Homo-oligomer: A and B are copies of this chain.
Amino acid sequence: MGRPAERPVPTSADVARLAGVSRATVSYVLNNTSAVRISEPTRRKVREAAEELAYIPHAAARSLRAGHTRIVLLPTAHVPIGPLHSRFLNELQWALRRLDYTVVQYGSLGLDGDEAARAWAELRPVAVVSLGEIALTPHGVEILKRSGAKAVITLGPRRVEGAHALVMDQREIGNCAVDHLLERGRRRIGVVMPEEPGLELFSEPRLAGARAAAASSTGARVEPVPLSYTEESAGALAARWGGLDLDAVYAYNDEYAMLLMRALQDAGVDIPGDVAVLGADNLLLGKLLRPRLSTVRIDLVTGQRLAALVDRVVRDPGGEPERHDLMGALAVRRESS
């Protein structure tokens, strides 16, 4: 076990040499090429030689020859988005692997849309599934398609020209939240805007949805309320709460909601008497608070379904860019609203 890294990595030529056959034969045997019949003794010789050398094919060489890869590129978030999101991502990866794709996560720090697209294109992915954290431009989509991507799928708040769009419309959530609060008789509604960078892509559309919902109701008012995910920030907000004159707040998600609710309670605000509080994500932890936190349950598409869709588009790229709605939002009333 001295320094095994010294001798060079065995190639199919090495296997051929050891087995006393040609490289072609090696390829046939190891890939079980059905169009060609190889005698059993030869097969065994090849297999044994491969085994002995611990031969492992070289994916890059293979796909260079093949002219295409099975890479699905997943640009990664710059910021952790939340438990829901990361569970979804895991599921998606898992399902794609099942379909024999190689999932490459690509963090695109500090690259703007087109630079990022170019970097991604170097890997010649057969598909790109953008979760929407990086702004993919129509031009970026064009770059990717030109480089051989069969499917470019955006899965986020924005719709991008040219891409197969699986729109996950965050406005839905804000809409649903405010609808619920209106139904509960509230009219002066705060909407928490997280100050953590990177979350605007989600919070802005949610706010827009909230506004849209309020617009349909006379006398309703929506007020954005900035908040960082710290106790200090929540405390400061609670301290000036009286001046805000709000009777309800949709707090972006359950985590921010829990934070804010505690701060309000500590400041003597009665919930839901003085203020209704609503989160989103339907976390288990929200049920542990008193009052139990009302929330918006978000039904994401399952990773499996999305993976199947990716596969379909890859196999038949001709289809028109489709637009699917992949998200449902449903208010779950508990005790805080």
Mark A residues whose CB is within 8 Å of B.
1, 3-5, 9-10, 54, 56-61, 63-64, 69, 74, 76-80, 83, 86-87, 90, 93-94, 96-98, 102-109, 118, 121-124, 142-143, 145-148, 150, 162, 229-231, 255, 258-259, 262, 284-285, 287-289, 317-318
Contacts and interface: CB of A to CB of B under 8 A. Distances in A.
Contacts of A262: 288
- Identical subunits present: 2
Contacts of A87: 80
Indicate the member of A9, A57, A94, A107 with the most B CB atoms within 10 Å.
A107
Query: Nearest 6 CB-CB pairs, A to B?
Result: A60-B60, A262-B288, A59-B122, A105-B105, A97-B107, A93-B107
A80 B4 CA distance: 35
Contact of A1 (B77, B162, B231): B162
A104 B105 contact: yes
A123 B102 contact: yes
Given A57-B122, A103-B106, A150 B5 contact: yes
B285 A124 contact: no
Contacts of A108: 97
A93 B122 contact: no
Contacts of A229: 284
A61 B64 contact: yes
Contacts of A80: 83, 86-87, 90
A103 to B, nearest CB: 6
A103 B102 contact: no
Given A103-B106, A231-B284, A259-B288, 8 more contacts: A3-B318, A54-B142, A60-B63, A60-B123, A61-B64, A102-B104, A102-B123, A103-B104
Nearest to A286: B285
A92 to B, nearest CB: 10
A143 B90 contact: no
14 contacts: A3-B318, A5-B146, A56-B143, A56-B147, A58-B122, A60-B63, A74-B105, A93-B105, A94-B109, A97-B107, A103-B106, A258-B285, A259-B285, A288-B289
A241 to B, nearest CB: 17
Nearest to A255: B285
A285 B83 CA distance: 14
B121 A288 contact: no
A230 B284 CA distance: 8
Contacts of A61: 60, 64
Contacts of A74: 105
B54 A64 contact: no
Nearest to A56: B121
A306 to B, nearest CB: 15
A106 B98 contact: no
Contacts of A60: 60-61, 63-64, 69, 123-124
B58 A124 contact: yes
